[in-house]
Structure 1
Amino acid sequence: MKNSNFKVSRRYFISRTSKATLAIGIGSSMIGSAFLTACGGGSTEEGGVILRTGFEQTPLPYDYTALEPHIDAMTMEIHYTKHAAAYAKNLGEAAAEEGVDVSAPLEEVLMNISKYSTKMRNNGGGHYNHELFWKIMSPNGGGEPTGDLSDAINASFGSFADFATQFENAGKTRFGSGWAWLVLDADKKLAVGSTPNQDNPLMDVSDFQGIPLMGIDVWEHAYYLKYTSDRAGYIGNWWNLVNWDAVAERYDALK
């Protein structure tokens, strides 16, 4: 009987300790600290401009039709003006309600999201994720990365093809709605994983953590009008849109 009670207590202790460790997050690592410094308020450094995310929705850098035929114009318009706009609006409300300084980088909030409300988590994540998503796509995208980013992908995954397979699998196997990511982790290595809903790897509550270099939205609203239930087809075609220059800029700013 005593042995049984010990096992229960030990499981509880391990569970609580794991959750406490998880809540520390990527922000406590050296790469996380460097990332926050690069994103720091009022930064005029090039890296800070590239990495920093504000609290307001920025203009879409291309027309709704620009990503045809891989993402249709109606999906882009609805996605940007309805879904993403709602996240930005609700984030502004949450920031006002919780006394957040909106002149500071949103990344600071996300790295400490366990201290904030569910409204902040859902809408802060949704806003950050979409702001990154628009930036790392381009009508002139596609192909493969070059330079240091290419070398890092080869070193971490073996080849670009192996990386692409892992990334696609992360998106295809994400249960329900969420995102697949390429990140720079706490050990300064590239890693692939996914998060549910509008969570992202910056969050101290996430079980997959790192500094996002690129991410793909696998919520149905991102692809259903064109692909219906064919998430794999959407992900496969999405490679034609990836702006590797933008992804490499993020990597170089962190490196």
Structure 2
Amino acid sequence: MRLTRRQTLGLLGVSAATLWLRSRPAVAAGEPSEIYTLPPLPYDYDALEPVIDAETMRLHHDKHHAAYVNTLNKALTPYRQWHGLAIETLLRHLHQLPTAIQSTVRNHGGGHANHSLFWQSMAPNGGGEPAGDLAIAIENTFGSFPEFQAQFQQAGLRHFGSGWVWLVLTPQGNLTITTTLNQDSPLMQGQVPILGNDLWEHAYYLTYRNRRDQYLEAWWQVVNWPWVSDRYAQMRELLA
């Protein structure tokens, strides 16, 4: 899936997004503004079973993700100059937003961005290993794909409470594993998320209860490596 122009600008960084902000026409009073929408799941609710059950997917997408989008839109309604921007742009420019909405954008905008990537990074009949440039980069960075998996899972297990575990690209174009609290996005640290797994209990509790380790291990069976590899290639192009 290719990035839209809005997403590309959002991921390019401060300078490109700032130039675009300066060039955007003002939103006329009473004119409908562009708002964020809940993206549909790219597969059926039960498509990832038995790794992730249908009830979890339905609640996670239709309730949790929808609530992030609705709360984000409500908070942004009075601030029309910030309408129509890629969510990646808002997260990168978080501290330029009005103080009154920074926490909401951080929590609910982050939740929207994180989950939008999460749904795409999984697929029925997923699993296996990446190919091409991503496979080479993982081997060069971590020594081997199994070693990368082990480090990713350990980072997820060590993370206390709710949050995410990520494979990200640094501003220098290097791969690294990191975690974020709650719905914080790596974008707020200048990093570009390539792959992320949700560590909130609502992502796995119906099937795995408190056994996060089993969830982290089983999750590899549904990772959509062709999509993740394509995203890596696109992000590398942006950073080049």
Structure-2-length-normalised TM-score = 0.81
- Equivalent residue for 1:109? 90
Find 1:145's aligned residue among 126, 130, 148: 130
Largest Rg, 1 or 2: 1
State whether residues 72 and 109 of structure 2, in contact with CA within 8 Å, keep that contact through their aligned partners in structure 1. Answer: yes
Q: In the aligned structure 1, how far is the partner of 2:135 from the partner of 2:12?
A: 22
Query: 114-123 or 239-248: which moved more?
Result: 114-123
Q: In the aligned structure 2, how far is the partner of 1:35 from the partner of 1:87?
A: 28
- Equivalent residue for 2:194? 213
Q: In the aligned structure 1, how far is the partner of 2:223 from the partner of 2:16?
A: 25
* Residue 172 of structure 1, CA deviation: 1.0
Identity %: 46
Q: In the aligned structure 1, how far is the partner of 2:177 from the partner of 2:137?
A: 13
* Residue 99 of structure 1, CA deviation: 3.1
- Equivalent residue for 1:196? 181
- Equivalent residue for 2:108? 123
CA 1:157–1:94: 2 relative to 1, 3 Å = same
Letter in 2 for 1:145: P
- Flag structure 2 segments of 5+ consecutive residues without an equivalent: 1-10, 22-34
Find 1:166's aligned residue among 129, 144, 151: 151
- Equivalent residue for 1:81? 62
Letter in 2 for 1:115: Q
Q: In the aligned structure 2, how far is the partner of 1:150 from the partner of 1:35?
A: 31
Q: In the aligned structure 1, how far is the partner of 2:106 from the partner of 2:81?
A: 13
Find 1:229's aligned residue among 202, 207, 210: 210
Q: In the aligned structure 1, how far is the partner of 2:221 from the partner of 2:90?
A: 32
Q: In the aligned structure 1, how far is the partner of 2:127 from the partner of 2:217?
A: 11
User: CA-to-partner distance for each residue in 1:166-210, whole Å, 9 max, x for gaps?
Assistant: 111111111110000000111111000100000011014xxxx51
What is the DSSP-based 3-state SS (H/G/I as helix, E as strand, rest coil) of the residue aligned with 2:177?
strand
Q: In the aligned structure 1, how far is the partner of 2:155 from the partner of 2:106?
A: 22
| 4+ long deviations beyond 4 Å | 34-37
Number of residue pairs matched by the alignment: 207
User: CA-to-partner distance for each residue in 1:52-105, whole Å, 9 max, x for gaps?
Assistant: xx8211111111100000000100000011100000111111221333533221
- Equivalent residue for 1:11? none
Q: In the aligned structure 1, how far is the partner of 2:75 from the partner of 2:53?
A: 32
CA 1:111–1:232: 2 relative to 1, 3 Å = same
Q: What is the root-mean-square deviation in Å for CA atoms of aligned residues?
A: 2.0
What is the DSSP-based 3-state SS (H/G/I as helix, E as strand, rest coil) of the residue aligned with 2:164?
strand
Q: In the aligned structure 2, how far is the partner of 1:96 from the partner of 1:65?
A: 35
- Flag structure 1 segments of 5+ consecutive residues without an equivalent: 1-30, 42-53
